[in-house]
Amino acid sequence: MVLARLKTHAPGAGASSTGATQERSTVVSIARPESDRESQLELRESEPSGIGDPAAAAELERELRGLPPSHPPPDPPPKAPTRSTSPPPTSYGRNIGPSWVAQMRGVKVLVVAAALGIKPTTTRPKWTAPCATCLAPKQHTKSRDRRGAMGVLPNGTAFYCFQCEETIDALDLIALNLCGKRLRDAGERGVREVREYCESKFGVSSGNRTDWPPRTVSQVKPANDVYNTEEPELVVPHYPSPESLAALNSQLVRIDEVECVLTCLQSRPKLDVGAVAELTMMARAIPDDGPPLPSWAYYGSRSWRETGHRLVTPFFDAAGFMRTVSGRYVGKDKELPKSLPPRGYDRGGLVMACPLARRMLQYGTHPSQWPTDDMGWWPVSQPLELIIAEGEIDVLFWATEFSDADVHAPGVIGVVNGSWKQAHADRIPSGTQITVATDDDADGDKYAAQILKALVGREDLPPVIRWRADEAL
């Protein structure tokens, strides 16, 4: 069916005297059966109208007679541009071919260390060397340990430092030796130097991809990225998954239920083991038997249960959320590390905390401003006291040092290397009396200096007290 409008001329009431014509508008309904080209016209007169176009009427008449149009139809309008199937521009550059970074992921760190001329401290039974990040010479500075602070992870793709607890892959190792910084902090010039070194020493090529930008966890490509034709680059998250932490927590028991843990803590004469056993939110133990531990609760090929790292303590971030745990050694083998973070992860920026200190991190205010059912009854005039200790054993000592009847006992925070950050200092409420009780040695003084540095400018706090023990706990 085709609808058209024709302009016709019909005599009006005064046509005989004036000779004028009155325009009438006619609607034409045209049915065109495929078998019959004759037009069936059905005319329906409408009200008079001034609308009409002789050229259009002529074209319609030609169409009704089956004739071609007098003028060729105009060119069709240009089509809208279709969406390109090429990858959108991103900071990663073009995803064509393997990047030089992806190629270097397959190079073992020992090969890179040899190319850089790094001399190992020991080669048997394991390769160790001084740390390239913190420059610590040995794994344990307080013993006669001959092993270097930096060892090789089981998969051979990175080093791990037992002092600063940082992981160093091949690219970071090169950047630290060339620029003195990790690759993510080396800047454009540093990245170019590292790339040129890799091209000359290991034969990698940049391909069709632009310079590699520093990668962070937030820059991980989504799994549904249809433009990504490369193997995904491994980005290790900071902490174990909540599911794996829950799996480990389901196995833990009180410390007085595991003989080796109980014996180790009883060897500390100043430690109230009975009180520590009640403090299950700060310390628990891995039982003798049970399901396999999570894959990160291993040292080498042996689990924490087998190596003797059976005392488990939680670590919290600056907002008071538990992020990871540590395994404290309870045996007598001095060759094993005293404390282990989860394998493949680190404890940087995380601290141990008693329940009171954890709530302080969560609220960031004086206890009198907390909810009533969460110690909000604390008097406004009673200042909060905070003790910052070093290591798992010292934290447990201070957390159980005060009587249960002392409702205003200090909060206790525990630090290890790399724990204390500015974010923790910012959560300490005004008027809090801080006592730094780190060890009376070089490492303890270093941690104390880091804590004091983060508190510079806090005029709302009393002077910090530096407590030193007469003898080891």
The total of other beta-carbon atoms located within 10 Å of residue 95's CB is 18
Same domain, 143 and 36: no
The total of other beta-carbon atoms located within 10 Å of residue 227's CB is 14
Task: Output the CA torsion sign for 141, 147, 153, 154.
Answer: negative
The total of other beta-carbon atoms located within 10 Å of residue 375's CB is 16
CB 86 within 8 A of CB 96: no
* Tokens read off for 326: 């540590």
Q: Is 458 helix (H, G, I), strand (E, B) or coil?
A: coil
Query: What confidence tier does 69 reach under pLDDT thresholds 50, 70, 90?
Result: low
C-alpha to C-alpha distance for 276 and 282, rounded to whole angstroms: 8
CB 251 within 8 A of CB 293: yes
CATH, residue 208:
3.90.580
Q: Provide the domain limits for residue 114.
A: 100-219
CATH, residue 400:
3.40.1360
Q: Give the start-end residues of each E strand in 46-126.
A: none
Among residues 175, 398, 365, 362, which one has the least CA distance to residue 270?
Answer: 398
Same domain, 215 and 258: no
Same domain, 111 and 153: yes
CA distances from 71 to 55, 60, 139, 304 (A): 11, 12, 91, 89
Its pTM stands at: 0.54
CA distances from 22 to 19, 51, 299 (A): 10, 12, 103
C-alpha to C-alpha distance for 160 and 151, rounded to whole angstroms: 5
* Residue 299, beta-bridge partner list: 302
Give the end of a domain, one of 300, 317, 340: 340
207: Cβ contacts below 8 Å, ≥ 6 apart: 96, 97, 98, 99, 100
Same domain, 191 and 290: no
CB 386 within 8 A of CB 360: yes
Same domain, 452 and 383: yes
Same domain, 372 and 461: yes
Q: In what order do the strands lie in the sheet with 284-285?
A: 284-285, 311-316, 322-328, 339-340
Q: What is the DSSP letter of 262?
A: H
Same domain, 202 and 116: yes
Side-chain-side CA neighbours of residue 42 (13 Å):
7
C-alpha to C-alpha distance for 22 and 48, rounded to whole angstroms: 8
Residue 12 lies in a domain: yes
Q: What is the pLDDT of residue 472?
A: 52
The total of other beta-carbon atoms located within 10 Å of residue 219's CB is 13
Q: What is the pLDDT of residue 93?
A: 34
pLDDT digits over 243-299, tens only?
A: 899 999 999 999 999 999 999 999 988 899 999 999 888 999 999 999 999 999 998
Q: Is 160 helix (H, G, I), strand (E, B) or coil?
A: strand
* Lowest mean pLDDT segment, chosen from 120-129, 229-238, 414-423, 443-452: 229-238
C-alpha to C-alpha distance for 388 and 406, rounded to whole angstroms: 19
Q: Residue 332: pLDDT above 50?
A: yes
Residue 22 lies in a domain: yes
Q: Helix and strand tally (H, E) in the chain?
A: 14, 18
Displacement of CA 457 from its chain's centroid (Å): 30
Residue 234 lies in a domain: no
* Lowest mean pLDDT segment, chosen from 39-48, 159-168, 363-372: 39-48
C-alpha to C-alpha distance for 376 and 366, rounded to whole angstroms: 9
* Lowest mean pLDDT segment, chosen from 8-22, 168-182, 189-203, 298-312: 8-22
Residue 82 lies in a domain: no
Omega of the bond leading into 294 within 30 degrees of 0 (cis): no
Domain total of the chain: 4
Same domain, 129 and 26: no
Most confident of 130-134, 205-209, 307-311: 307-311
Query: What confidence tier does 127 reach under pLDDT thresholds 50, 70, 90?
Result: confident
Same domain, 57 and 107: no
Same domain, 147 and 178: yes
CB 148 within 8 A of CB 157: no
Q: Residue 113: pLDDT above 70?
A: yes
Residue 34 lies in a domain: yes
User: 468 phi and psi, to 5 degrees?
Assistant: -125, 130
Residue 294 lies in a domain: yes
Q: What is the pLDDT of residue 251?
A: 92
Q: Residue 206: pLDDT above 70?
A: no
pLDDT digits over 420-458, tens only?
A: 999 999 999 999 999 999 998 888 899 999 999 999 999
Give the end of a domain, one of 340, 370, 387: 340
Residue 228 lies in a domain: no
The share of the chain scoring above pLDDT 70, in percent, equals: 69
The share of the chain scoring above pLDDT 90, in percent, equals: 30
Same domain, 202 and 112: yes
Residue 229 lies in a domain: no
Q: What is the pLDDT of residue 385?
A: 94
Give the end of a domain, one of 318, 340, 362: 340
Q: What is the pLDDT of residue 81?
A: 54
Same domain, 312 and 335: yes
